[in-house]
Amino acid sequence: MSLESKRIDIRIPVRLIKKVEKYQEEKDIATRTGAFLELIRIGLKHSEE
């Protein structure tokens, strides 16, 4: 995977952010961005199956 990154600005419903933050805490992920990235990777992997 490429280490190159690009900043994007998106609006996310507060209720969804709270769910991601709960996931972050449960999985002991250091940053909210890290939690979002992990969940995106999981979702993409699942969609490819």
11-26 pLDDT, tens digit each: 999 999 999 999 999 9
Record the pTM.
Answer: 0.84
Inter-residue long-range contacts of 38-46, CB under 8 Å, 24+ positions, other chains counted: none
What is the reported pLDDT for 9?
A: 96
CA–CA distance, 20 with 32 (Å, rounded to integer):
7
CA–CA distance, 39 with 33 (Å, rounded to integer):
10
What is the reported pLDDT for 27?
A: 98
What is the reported pLDDT for 30?
A: 98
